[in-house]
Amino acid sequence: MITCIDTHTCGEPTRIVTGGIGFIPGDTVAEKMLYFQENLDWLRTMLMHEPRGQSVMSGAILTEPCDPAADVGVIYLETGGYLPMCGHDTIGVCTALVECGMVLVSEPVTVVTLETPAGLVEGRVKVENGVAQSVTFTNAASFVYDKDIRADIQGLGEVTLDIAYGGNFFALVDAHDVGIKISPEYYWAIRRIGTKIKDAVNEVFPVVHPEKPFINAVTHVYFIEQPVAPGMSGKSAAIITNGDVDRSPCGTGTCAELALMYSEKKIGLGEVFVNESIIGTTLSAKVVSESSVSNFPAVICEVEGAAYITGFHNYVVDPMDPLKEGFLLQ
Report pLDDT digits (tens) over 135-158.
999 999 999 999 999 999 988 999
Q: Does 162 share its domain with 283?
A: yes
Q: What is the mean pLDDT of residues 312-319?
A: 97
Q: Does 290 share its domain with 168?
A: yes
Q: Name the catalytic one among 4, 10, 94, 250.
A: 250
Rg (CA), the chain: 19
Task: Give the count of domains, the chain.
Answer: 2
Q: What confidence score (pLDDT) does residue 228 get?
A: 84
Q: What is the mean pLDDT of residues 71-79?
A: 98
Q: Does 296 share its domain with 241?
A: yes
Q: Are the C-beta atoms of residues 72 and 115 closer than 8 Å to each other?
A: yes
Residue 330: pLDDT over 90? no
Residue 229: pLDDT over 90? no
- Assigned domain for 325 exists: no
Q: Does 87 share its domain with 180?
A: no
Question: 98-143: per-residue pLDDT in tens?
Answer: 999 999 999 999 999 999 999 999 999 999 999 999 999 999 999 9
Q: Does 262 share its domain with 286?
A: yes
Q: Does 10 share its domain with 63?
A: yes
Q: What is the mean pLDDT of residues 20-37?
A: 97
Q: What confidence score (pLDDT) does residue 154 get?
A: 87
Q: Does 66 share its domain with 197?
A: no
Q: What is the mean pLDDT of residues 173-200?
A: 97
- Assigned domain for 49 exists: yes
Residue 251: pLDDT over 90? yes
Q: What confidence score (pLDDT) does residue 29 get?
A: 98
Q: What confidence score (pLDDT) does residue 134 get?
A: 98
Q: Name the catalytic one among 86, 94, 255, 301.
A: 86
Residue 281: pLDDT over 90? yes
Could you list the residue range(s) of the whole structural domain that residue 220 is in?
A: 142-303
Q: Does 30 share its domain with 71?
A: yes
| Confidence class for position 195, pLDDT limits 50, 70, 90 | very high
Specify whether 86 is catalytic. yes
* Mean pLDDT of all residues belonging to the chain: 97
The CATH number of residue 190's host domain is 3.10.310.10
More confident residue, 243 or 297: 297
Specify whether 94 is catalytic. no
Q: What confidence score (pLDDT) does residue 110 get?
A: 98
